[in-house]
Chains A and B, each alone.
Chain A
C-alpha cells in the first residue's frame, strides 16, 4: 500500500500538483513510521466508561432492597464527587470559546460524573420523591445540570445527554432505536411539543452563534433540531390536521438547506433533502387519495419511473451545486 501511495505522489509531482519540497517532506514523515493509536485508545476509554456506569446502574437496580438506600446513594455520590473533583482541578475554567483538557482522559471523567449524577437524581426521586409526583421535573432538573456541566467543561457528550433529557421532559424519547416505534406517532400532541422544542434549539443556536457562546456546539444542536423537527413534521403530516405541518415542513427543509450551504455541512444537506422528499411524497399520496385516481392506477404505475428519473435528475443537480460551493470554499 505504501508503495502505491509513493507512486501516486510521484505522479502528482510529475503533473505539477505537488512540489518537490513537499514530496521530500512527505518522505521524511513517512520514514518516522508513525502509527497513532490515539483514536483507538480514546474509544476504549469511552467504552470503559459506558461499561462501568452500566454496571453501577444495574448493581443499584438489582440490590435496591438489600443494600439500603443511604448506602447506594452515598457510594454513588462519592464516586460522582471524585469524578468532578479531578475534573475541576484540571479544568481551565469556563470560557466562551472551545477549551479542551490537556489530557483527553478528563473528558471521560466528566462524562462518568454526569451519568452518575443522573443516576443519583433519578434514584433520589424514586426513593424520596423530592420533586413531588411530577416525574417530568426530574428530567428537567437533569437537563439543567447536564447543560451546566456541558457548558462549563465543554463536553459535547454531556450536551447531547442534556438535550435528550430536555426532550424527555417534553415527553419524547429521541434515540435512534425508538424512532420507528416513537410515541410521536401514537400521541399527536407530542409532535407539536417536539416542533416547539426543535425551533427553540434552532433559536438558541442562532443566538449562541451571535454572542459567540460555544459556537462549536452548533453541530450537536442542529443535528438534534433537524431530526426532531423532521420526524415531528412527518408524524404530523400523517395526522388528520395535517395542513398545519405543510408550511412547517417546507420552512424546516428550506432553513436546513440554507444552513447546510452556509456551513458546508453535508449531513444537514442530505437530511434536508430526504425529509423534503418524504414530505412531498406523502402530500402526493394524499392528493391522489383526494381526487380518487384508483381507476387509472395502472397508468400511474406505468409512468412512475419517469417521476423517479425526474427526481434523480433534480437531486443530481442539487448535489452538484452543493459540491461546487463546497469546493469553492476550499479554494
Chain B
C-alpha cells in the first residue's frame, strides 16, 4: 500500500528527531550532519518556502501538460468534456506515481500532483453526476487512500472535509433528519474523529503518520468548536431553517450555544496546560478570541475603541501576571524559553508583522485622516482609520 520505501521513511523520522535534538542543544552539529548524510533519505524539502516554490512549479507543469493535452485531443472529445477531466486525473495519477517511484516526498512537486489529481477527479465526478453527494464520498475515499499511500498530510484534511460535507449534505439536502440536529451531529463527528485520532495515536506502528494524525486532531478540535459556536449556529439556522430572529428574540437553545461558545475554548486551554499540549493551547486561544468576536458581533454594548483599549489592558494584565507567576518555576509549566526555542525567529517574525500592521503613510487633510500611525489587531489599520 505504501508508495515509498519504508526504511527510508523511518530514516526521515530519525533525522527529524535528530534535528529536534540538535535544536535543543543535546547533540552537536557534527552528529546531526552525520545522521543526515549517512542514512539514505527521500527527496524532500524541509524548508516550507522551497516547498511552496516547487508546489507552484508543479502546478505550472500540470497545467501546461493539460494545455498541450487539450490541443491534441480537443477535436476528438468535443462532446465529452468530463472525459477530459478524467484524463487529467489519470495524468495526475501517473505523475504522482512517477514522483513517488523517484522518492519525491514532501518536496512540493509531489504535493502539486497529488492535489491536482484529486481536484481533477472530484471535478470529473461532480460534472458526471451533477450532484455534490458523490463528490463528498469521493473526497472521503480518495483523500484517505492518498493519505495512506503517499503519506500526504493534506489529503487527511480533504478526507475530513469530505465527512463534514457528506453529513451536511445528507441533513440539509437529503433531509435525513431535522436540521435542528445539525450542530449536535457536527459535534459528535468531532468527537468521533478525536476518538479515532486517539486510537491511532496510541498505536506505535502509526508513528510514520504523525503529521496526518496531527491534522486529524486539529480538525476535530476546530470542528468541535465551530459546530456549536453561537454565530455559526445562528447564521446557519437563519439561512437553512428560515428562522427569523426578531428584536429581543433568539434562536432555540440559544443559552446552550452561548455557554458552549465560551466553555469549549476554556476547556481546551485548561486541558492543554494540564496535558502540556501546545497545539490544543493555540486552538484554545484562537477560538476564545473568536468567541469574543461572536459576542461582540451580536451585542454592541460598548464602542469598539473602548473595547480595544480595555481588551488590550486586560490581555496585558493576564500575560504580565502569568509571567510573574511562572518566572521562577524551573520544572513543569514555565516562562523559561524552551531549549529548542529560537528567539531570533520570534523577533524577526514580529518585525515583519509590524510592517503589515503599521501604517505610517502621511495623511492629507482631504481624506480626513487625523494621524498616521496606529496598529490594529487582525485586519491592520487601513487608510480609513
Binds B, one of A27-35, A85-93, A184-192, A283-291: A27-35
A160-B352, A330-B33 given as contacts; is B47 within 8 A of A126 (CB)?
A: no
Q: Are A168 and B360 in contact (CB under 8 A)?
A: yes
A17-B31, A168-B360, A319-B50 given as contacts; is B318 within 8 A of A44 (CB)?
A: yes
Q: Are B348 and A156 in contact (CB under 8 A)?
A: yes
Interface membership of chain B positions 363-378, coded 1 if the CB is closer than 8 angstroms to chain A and 0 otherwise: 1110001111111110
Compute how far the CA of A295 lies from the CA of B21 in the bound complex, rounded to whole angstroms: 60
Q: Are B305 and A220 in contact (CB under 8 A)?
A: no
User: Is the CB of B177 closer than 8 A to any CB of chain A?
Assistant: no
| Chain B residues, CB < 8 A from A308 | 57, 60-61, 64
Binds B, one of A18-26, A204-212, A229-237, A244-252: A18-26
Q: Are A32 and B330 in contact (CB under 8 A)?
A: yes
User: Is the CB of B296 closer than 8 A to any CB of chain A?
Assistant: no
A127's nearest neighbour on chain B, judged by CB, is: B370
Contact of A138 (CB < 8 Å), options: B50, B109, B362: B362
Q: How far is the CB of A21 from chain B (nearest CB, A)?
A: 10
Q: Are B331 and A32 in contact (CB under 8 A)?
A: yes
The count of chain B contact residues (Cβ–Cβ below 8 Å) is: 109
Compute how far the CA of A4 lies from the CA of B311 in the bound complex, rounded to whole angstroms: 41
Q: How far is the CB of A260 from chain B (nearest CB, A)?
A: 11
Q: How far is the CB of A190 from chain B (nearest CB, A)?
A: 13
Which A-B residue pairs are the 6 nearest by beta carbons? A118-B373, A52-B312, A57-B374, A55-B308, A122-B372, A51-B312
| Chain B residues, CB < 8 A from A116 | 373
Enumerate 11 A-B pairs (CB-CB under 8 Å) in ascending A order: A1-B210, A44-B285, A48-B319, A55-B312, A58-B385, A59-B306, A266-B50, A267-B49, A301-B64, A305-B61, A315-B57
The count of chain A contact residues (Cβ–Cβ below 8 Å) is: 111
Interface membership of chain A positions 46-67, coded 1 if the CB is closer than 8 angstroms to chain B and 0 otherwise: 1111111111111111101000
Compute how far the CA of A226 lies from the CA of B237 in the bound complex, rounded to whole angstroms: 49
| Chain A residues, CB < 8 A from B361 | 139, 168, 173
Q: Are A160 and B355 in contact (CB under 8 A)?
A: yes
User: Is the CB of B172 closer than 8 A to any CB of chain A?
Assistant: no
Majority secondary structure of chain B interface residues (helix, strand, loop or mixed): helix
A160-B355, A161-B354, A304-B64 given as contacts; is B331 within 8 A of A34 (CB)?
A: yes
Q: Are B360 and A164 in contact (CB under 8 A)?
A: yes
| Chain B residues, CB < 8 A from A177 | 356, 380
User: Is the CB of B8 closer than 8 A to any CB of chain A?
Assistant: no
User: Is the CB of A182 closer than 8 A to any CB of chain B?
Assistant: no
| Chain A residues, CB < 8 A from B133 | none
User: Is the CB of B338 closer than 8 A to any CB of chain A?
Assistant: yes
| Chain B residues, CB < 8 A from A37 | 322, 326, 333-335
Contact of A165 (CB < 8 Å), options: B344, B356, B360, B364: B360
A58-B305, A164-B358 given as contacts; is B385 within 8 A of A39 (CB)?
A: no
Q: Are B377 and A54 in contact (CB under 8 A)?
A: yes
| CB neighbors of A among B189-246 (8 A) | 201, 204, 207, 210
5 other A-B residue contacts (CB within 8 Å) besides A119-B374, A267-B49: A8-B13, A37-B333, A44-B315, A270-B49, A301-B68
Residues of chain B whose beta carbon lies under 8 Å from any beta carbon of chain A: 13-14, 17-18, 20-21, 24, 26-27, 29-39, 45, 47, 49-50, 53-54, 57-58, 60-61, 64-65, 67-68, 71-72, 109, 201, 204, 207, 210, 273, 276, 278, 281-282, 285, 303-316, 318-320, 322-323, 326, 330-339, 341, 344, 346-348, 350-352, 354-365, 369-377, 380-381, 385
Q: Are B57 and A51 in contact (CB under 8 A)?
A: no
A8-B13, A118-B373 given as contacts; is B311 within 8 A of A51 (CB)?
A: yes
| Chain B residues, CB < 8 A from A267 | 49
Compute how far the CA of A76 lies from the CA of B11 in the bound complex, rounded to whole angstroms: 58
Residue from B316, B356, B362 having most chain A Cβ neighbours under 10 A:
B362
Q: Are A122 and B363 in contact (CB under 8 A)?
A: yes
Q: Are A123 and B26 in contact (CB under 8 A)?
A: no
Q: How far is the CB of A91 from chain B (nearest CB, A)?
A: 17
Compute how far the CA of A22 lies from the CA of B374 in the bound complex, rounded to whole angstroms: 49
| CB neighbors of B among A3-25 (8 A) | 3-5, 7-9, 11-12, 15, 17-18, 22, 25
Compute how far the CA of A71 lies from the CA of B141 in the bound complex, rounded to whole angstroms: 65
Contact of A55 (CB < 8 Å), options: B282, B305, B362: B305
Q: How far is the CB of B133 from chain A (nearest CB, A)?
A: 35
Q: Are A46 and B210 in contact (CB under 8 A)?
A: no
| Chain A residues, CB < 8 A from B57 | 308, 311-312, 315
User: Is the CB of A331 closer than 8 A to any CB of chain B?
Assistant: yes
Compute how far the CA of A61 lies from the CA of B47 in the bound complex, rounded to whole angstroms: 43
